[in-house]
């Protein structure tokens, strides 16, 4: 292990002086080499050309739009495809979309950024897969449906106060809403 100390003294035109002392430890082993390699890789990544693709999601069903705009989904798509995925624009309903001016914010879309076309296509495919999935029923619409053929039953699950960070709704919906879809399909 080598220790290097660097001291710098600055005197300003005013009557005070600053002295800065920094000590650097140098470890001649594999971790220093790995850190240097990581720094070189990060620098090289900055130099790679970045290409972008915009995938419109404004017209996707509400449940799919809600899924696609979740931070966790953006991260998953990005990790799976080695891209960076962000949300751009804002949601417009049909009427607002028709009346939208060119100076207004663009319609809701996902921007995918990568270093080659294959990455962008994989990310686009992952997004389309979610968009084309069976839409979840809107819970507000289900709660308004009354009349013959609808049977309601309350099931108490004994979870009056959930633990902090425990998402009851997320656990009931399941992965990509699979549990709710199953219940809906088998109970109709």
State the Cα–Cα distance between residues 85 and 53, nearest whole angstrom: 10
φ, ψ at 87 (rounded to 5°): -100, 135
The Cβ of residue 124 has, within 10 Å, a number of other Cβ atoms equal to: 18
State the Cα–Cα distance between residues 152 and 180, nearest whole angstrom: 15
Task: Output the pTM of the full model.
Answer: 0.50
pLDDT in tens, 128-186: 988 887 666 655 555 555 555 555 666 776 666 766 777 777 777 888 788 888 887 77
Half-sphere exposure of 82 (CA within 13 A, CB side): 7
| Collapsed DSSP state (helix, strand, coil) of residue 9 | strand
pLDDT in tens, 85-125: 999 999 999 999 889 998 999 999 999 999 999 999 999 99
């Amino acid at each position: 292990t080598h220790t290097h100390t660097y001291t710098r003294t600055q005197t300003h035109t005013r009557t005070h002086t600053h002295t800065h002392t920094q000590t650097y430890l140098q470890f001649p082993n594999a971790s220093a080499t790995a850190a240097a390699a990581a720094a070189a890789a990060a620098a090289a990544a900055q130099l790679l050309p970045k290409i972008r693709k915009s995938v419109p999601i404004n017209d996707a069903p509400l449940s799919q739009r809600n899924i696609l705009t979740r931070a966790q989904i953006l991260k998953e798509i990005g990790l799976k495809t080695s891209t960076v995925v962000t949300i751009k624009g804002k949601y417009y309903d049909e009427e607002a979309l028709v009346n939208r001016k060119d100076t207004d914010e663009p319609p809701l879309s996902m921007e995918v950024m990568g270093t080659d076309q294959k990455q962008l296509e994989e990310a686009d495919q992952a997004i389309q897969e979610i968009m084309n999935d069976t839409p979840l029923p809107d819970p507000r619409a289900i709660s308004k449906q009354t009349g013959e053929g609808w049977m309601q039953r309350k099931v108490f699950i004994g979870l009056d106060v959930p633990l902090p960070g425990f998402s009851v709704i997320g656990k009931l919906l399941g992965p990509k809403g699979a549990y709710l879809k199953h219940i809906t399909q088998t109970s109709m």
